[in-house]
Amino acid sequence: MKETLRILVVDDDELDRRTVYLALTQAGVKIELSEVSDAKTAISILRNTTYDCVFLDDRLPDQDGLSLIKKLRASEIKVPLVVITDQGDEHIVVELMKAGATDYLVKSRLSSITLTQVLRHAMRINQVEMQAALAHQQLKESHEQLLRKNQELEKQRQQIQLQNLKLLEVSQLKSQFLATMSHELRTPMNAIIGFAQILLRPKFGKLTYQQADMVERILNNGKHLLMLVNEVLDFAKLEEGRLALQPELFDLAKVTNTAVGEMRSLAEAKKLSLVLKIDTANTVVFNDPVRVKQILLNLLSNAIKFTESGNICVELQELGDNRVAIAVRDTGIGISSQDSQHIFEAFRQLDQTITRKYPGTGLGLAIINSLVQMMGGKIFLESQVGVGSVFRIELPRRISLSPSNKTSGAVQFDSPGIFSVVQTTRSQNSETRI
């Protein structure tokens, strides 16, 4: 208990007020006592002065104790209130406690011991109530802050949703633009290629060496440009979900051999060895041969582009669970673990500058990745900078007409300087589209 307590006694009987004072002093409690004899004065003094405890009579000349307690509590006066009553009526006591009294004391039992006990008890209860009120206020403030934050977050969410809708609209417009422009570019490019081929035929007249060289350059550059346009068109169709597989039974070894044959001249031009290894007896699969060939041509084109010396090897392997694997190995520049994180992203290239050594749209691997997903397959990359890369594709021998297009990616580091990028798929019921 504090060294000196400020006590207020509200009682119209001077003897009763004196009795409270003597009882507390006899108990050894140091007090600073104030006395008032009516309710009006008590309310006024309590509004301006802080006390540790108030003892009040339940019957005052201008107001009964019950009404006074209600007024004090309505005025937000937080002080321990001990009612001193002539009666020990339980009903009256209950009403007093409900109104806000902290404790009560019957005058006939008034003594230094009981008064001290009641005083300590009242102050302890008041302290607990004050702490509870403070905690409640803090919780209320926290709740209000959370409500405000939730409102701000909801507003931000709505703004983000609106931005996402705008971005989606822009993305759709971009895809439509790419598809339209690519389609429009293919017509004149096919004409350029066709006329260049006609000019090179002997029956249309013999060209000089210089003329033939220029026409061949027109033809080769036209074919290259058409390939780039086709990549953009395929990517636009993939983004819009308009590219569908056309599966049929075909010989995977034959398609692979054809793709290798078409790329052999490019490999020989760089003095690279291009080898095909087939390690499966059954090479018949049910898939889209055009898209499988496209995947092979893209992988071989990349391998030749990024390999300055050494060899490139294409392998067909039999896997368990009715699956086959196609691997393209090279001894090229390799890919760092940092670049591997983005290797399958659209328009992403190792060198993003306009003066880069290796040209291209940056769509080849993104298209391969999407096609492999559509086929219900997985694509793996193992690479080491300065040593080479291996792109390995695992496909079901018979693709489903309703594979999933949901993909998750993970990077696994096998040893220092060597890493694997894994793209996995999960089956669901949906059309063969992305």
Q: For 27-38, write each residue's pLDDT tens digit.
A: 888 888 999 999
For residue 189, give its domain range.
165-239
Q: Alpha-carbon distance 275 to 327, whole Å?
A: 12
* Band of residue 151 on the pLDDT scale cut at 50, 70, 90: very high
Question: Which residues have CB under 8 Å from 254's CB, separation 6+?
Answer: 283
pLDDT bucket at 10, cuts 50 / 70 / 90? very high
Cβ 69 vs Cβ 83: under 8 Å: yes
pLDDT at 314: 95
130: closest CA among 226, 52, 199?
52
pLDDT tens, position by position, 49-76 = 999 999 998 888 888 888 988 998 888 8
Question: Closest Cα to residue 245, out of 432, 407, 431?
Answer: 432
The model's pTM is 0.50
Sheet holding 5-10, edge to edge: 31-36, 5-10, 53-57, 81-85, 103-106
Task: Mark which of 239, 258, 277 sits at the end of a domain.
Answer: 239
Rounded Cα distance, 60 and 72, in Å:
15
Do residues 277 and 387 share a domain?
Answer: yes
254 within domain boundaries = yes
Sheet with strand 378-384: strands edge to edge: 273-279, 311-319, 323-330, 388-396, 378-384, 418-426, 406-415
Q: Domain count of the chain?
A: 3
Residue 25 resides in a domain: yes
Placement of tokens 């398609």 in the chain:
255
Q: What are phi and psi of 432, to 5 degrees?
A: -80, 65
Q: What is the pLDDT of residue 358?
A: 53
Contact 192, 226 (CB under 8 A): no
Please tell me the least confidently modeled range out of 148-157, 180-189, 210-219. Answer: 180-189
Q: What are phi and psi of 283, to 5 degrees?
A: -105, 10
Quote the pLDDT of residue 180. Answer: 73
> What per-residue confidence (pLDDT) applies to 154?
93
User: Mean pLDDT throughout 359-367?
Assistant: 71
Whether 407 and 317 share a structural domain:
yes
Q: Using an 8 Å Cβ cutoff, are 266 and 304 in contact?
A: yes
Question: Is 381 a member of any domain?
Answer: yes
Average pLDDT, the chain: 81
Of the chain, the percentage scoring pLDDT greater than 70 comes to: 85
Q: Is the confidence at residue 349, as pLDDT, over 60?
A: no
Residue 213, classified by CB atoms within 10 Å of its CB into exposed (0-12), middle (13-18) or buried (19+), is exposed
pLDDT tens, position by position, 311-339: 999 999 999 888 999 999 999 999 888 77
Band (pLDDT 50/70/90 cuts) for residue 348 is low
pLDDT category at 420 given cuts 50, 70, 90 is very low
In a shared domain, residues 389 and 310? yes
Q: What is the pLDDT of residue 131?
A: 84
128 falls within a domain: no
- Of 110, 126, 150, the residue at which a domain comes to its end is 110
Q: Based on the domain organization, do 349 and 407 belong to the same domain?
A: yes
What would the mean pLDDT of 142-156 be, rounded to a whole number? 92
Residue 324, number of CB atoms within 10 A of its CB: 21
What local confidence, expressed as pLDDT, does residue 350 receive? 52
Is residue 81's pLDDT more than 70?
yes
Assess whether pLDDT exceeds 60 at residue 115: yes
> Domain for residue 64, yes or no?
yes
pLDDT tier, 187 (very low <50, low <70, confident <90, very high otherwise): confident
